[in-house]
Structure 1
Amino acid sequence: MTSAVFEQSYVAFLDVLGFSEMVDRAVSQPEADELNRLYRCHIAARNLAAADRELSIIQFSDSVVISRPYDPSQFSSFIKMVADYQRLLLSERILCRGGVSRGPHYAKEAFVMSAGLIDAYLLESRRARYPRVIVSEDLLKLVGSKFIRKSPLLQEDDGVVFVDFLRGGRSREKQRLADAARQCITTCREHASSSVLEKGVWLAAYTDAALGTTLSLERFGSPDWASFDI
């Protein structure tokens, strides 16, 4: 048996948001098609990655791991792959958040052991907060501006650099993504959880900036006094 060795790699960890609710609906409401929606994304992403034999996509439950051996010249294509996967999820009205890092990584078949994955997971769990995939500052410095400039990235006012997955593409795709984002935002606004609501607020602002929509609500306005009548 060939000895397993770590390889310095790009590693993206994505967390599918609202997964437990998706599972509940899949079990109690088979007609909701939750299982097929997520599986379609997985198959489409696998097909996208087929052209690059060094790219790996592993999914288990609500976790997705995308990896590729580290090469500064391949940074842009790796980030574009992450963006493609986010668009696939959004087209099925599924949101995710995550982190992209670099580190020693080994993945073969269903086995993964990776320091890079741990770093990416910590980025997701500690800093992502919204439906965005953020990129490690150390990785950005390592890759350098020459390759960063060619990549679909944005920097938010909190200093975080994240994958800009909505820009680009044809007008028909933009409209489809805007419609999917609108449905996700409506679902977030109707949710009882304040953390889910803030994800919808963020997505509305980002979609407006990226696609020129007007999904954000006016932040300050007069109260609907009639709603307070008993």
Structure 2
Amino acid sequence: MEKAIVLHADILGFKNLISQAEAEQGDDTLNMLKAALAEGVGTVKMFQQKLNLTTPIRYKLFSDNLYAAFPYQDGDPQSFSDAFLLCIAFARSYQAVMLDNKLFIRGGISFGKDYSDDITIFSVGLVKAYELEISLAVYPRILVDEELIKIIKDQGIETPGPIFLTIINNSILRDGAGLYFINPIGLLGDTGAEAHGLTGDQLDKGFIKRYIKYSEEVLRNLNLENQQEIKVSKKYDWFILLLKWLLSDRNNEQSNVNEFSSLRFKAS
């Protein structure tokens, strides 16, 4: 078994997604899920090639559960940093693509011993990531293990290139309860990508406005006299609050939101 940074995530509202798939004539829903995973993996492979990183990725999608592991050499800060950075980039890319398809995910990122092959997944890191997600995530977000954050903050980040310091400093957010989670917005802008004639902040704001609009549409269609749908509405309320904070350039005084803050790292 190797040590690895491990992501576990599941899809909120998966029962409805399965019902939709059963009613379809083709495999549109299945193909969309496979394409979202392929894009996240493609982001990792792009960074691997561009920065000559040797960290592999192991991944499986089973039902509504995603497993992705990034192994590292125990005791090697560079290997550990590379695995952490690639996992963060993968998580941001995957979550963004799912949001583009109007799907919300919840997950956790942790670390520990990990093994997988074509038949078996046996992973301490996966169990820790799952427990983080199931017990604390609550809202549509991917939590990051506080112990993992502490290690990275203490030893610094061994960045393989300046672009990665930009990415990591825009990747981890902290809520009012002290929980760390992945910023789902901005990876394209961080890498200087262009879409619809926009780059950087303007590109990010375009996506944020789209997600706010969709989330507000979902809220309008919920029955707030139903206890289960009241619980669902709170998840969307939280997500809209986060999006509005991100849209305000993280200026708490202008947004009147004091719930969130950004986590900054130092290069070692």
TM range (shorter): 0.7 to 0.9
Structure 2 equivalent of residue 56 of structure 1: 58
Question: Which segments of 5 or more consecutive residues in structure 2 lack a partner in the other structure?
Answer: 49-54, 73-78, 159-163, 190-198, 224-228, 250-268
Pairing 1:178–2:209 present: yes
Tell me, in whole angstroms, the C-alpha distance in 2 between the residues paired with 1:58 and 1:188: 32
Q: 1:1-230 residue pairs with structure 2 within 5 A? A: 6-30=1-25, 33-51=28-46, 52=48, 54-70=56-72, 71-74=79-82, 75-145=84-154, 146-147=156-157, 150=165, 151=168, 152-167=171-186, 169=189, 170=199, 171-172=202-203, 174-192=205-223, 193-212=229-248
**Distance change (3 Å), C-alpha of 1:205 and 1:110:** farther
CA-CA distance at 1:100 after TM superposition: 0.5
- The sequence identity of aligned pairs, in percent, is 25
8 Å contact from structure 2 (residues 70, 86) kept in 1 = no
Contact 1:167 1:210 in 2 (8 A): no
For 1:50, what is the secondary structure of its paired residue? helix
CA contact (8 A) 1:99 1:134 kept: yes
With the length of structure 2 as denominator, give the TM-score of the two structures: 0.70
Give the Å deviation of 1:102. Answer: 0.5
Q: 1:86 & 1:16 partners in 2: Cα distance? A: 10
Paired positions, count: 209
Residue type of the alignment partner of 2:96:
R
Give RMSD over aligned pairs: 2.6
Distance in 1, Cα, partners of 2:26 & 2:233: 26
Change (3 A) 1:132 1:124: same
8 Å contact kept, 2:44–2:86: no
Alpha-carbon shift at residue 173 of structure 1 (Å): 5.2
Q: Deviations over 1:47-101 (max 9, x none)?
A: 2233446112211110011110133322233212211111111111111011100
Q: Is the 8 A contact 1:185 1:203 kept in 2?
A: no
1:188 to 1:14, Cα distance in 2 relative to 1, 3 A = farther
Once residues 78 and 24 of structure 1 are traced to their aligned partners in structure 2, the CA distance between those partners, rounded to angstroms, is 31
TM-score by length of 1: 0.81
State the Cα distance separating 1:103 from its structure 2 match: 0.6
Deviations 1:115-136 (A, max 9, x none): 1100000000000000111111
Deviation readout 1:18-75 (Å, 9 max, x if unpaired): 1110111121255894333322212222322334461122111100111101333222
Change (3 A) 1:40 1:185: farther
Between the aligned partners of 2:120 and 2:95, the Cα distance in structure 1 is: 24
Is residue 99–residue 124 contact of structure 1 (8 Å, CA) maintained in 2?
Answer: yes
Mapped contact 2:7–2:87 kept (Cα < 8 A):
no
Deviation per CA, 1:195-226: give whole Å up to 9, x if none: 2111110110111111349xxxxxxxxxxxxx
Runs (4+) off by over 6 Å: none
How far apart are the structure 2 equivalents of 1:91 and 1:30?
22
Q: Provide the residue aligned with 2:52 in structure 1.
A: none
